[in-house]
Amino acid sequence: MAVRALIFDVFGTLVDWRSGVAREAEQLLAPYAPQLDGGAFADAWRARYGPSMETVRSGARGYVDLDALQAESLPAVLAAFGIDGVPEAVLADLVLAWHRLDAWPEVPDALVRLRAAHLLAPVSNGHVRLMVDLARRNGFTFDAILGAGYSRDYKPKPALYRDAVAALGFSASETLMVAAHSLDLAAAAQHGLATAHIARPREHGPAGGETAPGVPVTYAAADLADLARQLGV
């Protein structure tokens, strides 16, 4: 079946979360932690992302958005780095660092090419406003914002993939999940979606990133421009 719609993971796949969070943390925390290693701080904060989402995925509590989860995680990250005395307003601004991330270099142009032939929507664990802010900052044009906000749950729960397919109205096999993370693609494939892996060897900075899919995929691409070429756009 021809691909009609592309749905995207965002953090790591379309935007470079580590560099952006590192930059913002170093700037905002400079008065409280002048020697901060922003990359290490970003890694530590990101490490709490999975467990914090699990409190929602497990049903232990109702849906709360990623800003709320990141805000909850932040005090422990600060403590781990020995940082204290940060005013509430700075903490709130630091949570918004996740709204101020830059795209990987080829992404904006590749999205324009892809959108000429396909419907595009993020299916991220980020909520609507977070996606809107990243899209505005980076010049992304999406047809819709799906994902955690739309489904009130977090990937890899089935609702996110199923709701995205239903919302865009093509068959699952005409809907292509695009991600730099094999676990996300494996979950999408379980629901019949086509899958595209994007190599992001620098996602985790010195710790690397997935250079190739660890699961069977429909497309494996070096970057989003390569995926566009493989799709013939």
CB of residue 225 to a copy of itself, shortest distance in Å: 23
CB of 84 to a copy of itself, least distance (A): 29
Backbone angles phi, psi at 227, to 5 degrees: -60, -45
72 versus 223: smaller Cβ distance to a copy of itself:
72
> Is 25 one of the binding residues for a copy of itself (CB under 8 A)?
no
Cα–Cα distances in angstroms (integers) from residue 73 to residues 46, 77, 95, 153, 160, in the given order: 9, 7, 10, 18, 23
Q: Does 74 bind a copy of itself (CB under 8 A)?
A: no
Binding-site string for a copy of itself from residue 120 to residue 159, where x marks contact by CB under 8 A and - marks none: -------xxx-xx--xx----x-xxxx--xx---------
Quick check: 169 binds a copy of itself (CB under 8 A)? yes
Asked if 218 and 200 touch (Cβ cutoff 8 Å), the reply is: no
* Contacts with a copy of itself, residue ranges (CB under 8 A): 119, 127-129, 131-132, 135-136, 141, 143-146, 149-150, 167-169
